[in-house]
Structure 1
Amino acid sequence: MAIQISSELLDGCVLAILEDEDYYGYTLTQRVQQAVTVSESTMYPVLRRLKKNGLLTTYDEPFQGRNRRYYQITQEGRTHLATVRDEWQEFREGIESMLGDEKSDE
């Protein structure tokens, strides 16, 4: 069984990765894939949506005769990430209260 990640959580994962360092698309996708199952074809629409919503910005850097598009979190993105983290904490605590450690016999 594969548990699907919501778009809001996927957005949060992308923003969290970009919080400390800018990444170009391919490397960013690989970083996300280390944590959750997501295809490369899923990632680029996510990145476009985050940019459209003002949560990311992009810039190009030359690399071996080509340009790499780097993604950078904006201040709005940082604010949104803080909200996602708060909501994730509440969600996680609720799920853990139901599915967490096996209940001891009382």
Structure 2
Amino acid sequence: MNAISGDRLRGHLETMVLSILERGDAHGLDIMRQLDAAGCGLLKLREGTLYPALYRLEAAGMISVVRKEKPPGGRGAARLIYRLSGKGRRHLAKGRQDWVSFVEVIGRIVGAPA
């Protein structure tokens, strides 16, 4: 299977990030790692794709920064730890419904089972 780039994830990345945060608080690099692991290494996200999505989600009130922590070794900038909000949970539920509809429609068009 070919790698899936950020362009192909457009419209779904925010739902995926909310889904990761539903499992627990995480910083950006951890979110990226969890997405990579869940995608079996096929999701090719860059920081320039993920971090703007995090900023949009925070500005929309779907996630919040709950604390800052120093990276291991105490070097570098503090990591922002994100948490899913109630509004984010509601948006995630809608995003999941939208995803199911999307897969069904595309499956019918391209002839693959949904």
- TM-score normalised over the length of structure 2: 0.77
Return 5+ residue gaps in structure 2 as ranges: none
Return 5+ residue gaps in structure 1 as ranges: 102-106
RMSD: 1.9
Report the equivalent of 1:43: 50
Q: Does 1:57 align with 2:68?
A: no
Give CA-to-partner distance per residue, 1:17-75, whole Å, 9 cap, x none. Answer: 10011111111112223422221121111101100000010121344435321111100
Give CA-to-partner distance per residue, 1:60-91, whole Å, 9 cap, x none. Answer: 13444353211111000000000110111011
Given candidates 15, 18, 21, the residue that maps to 2:21 is 18
Percentage of pairs with the same residue: 31
- TM-score normalised over the length of structure 1: 0.82
Q: How many residues align?
A: 100
Report the equivalent of 1:29: 32
Report the equivalent of 1:88: 99
Amino acid of the structure 1 residue aligned with 2:74: G
Bigger radius of gyration: 1
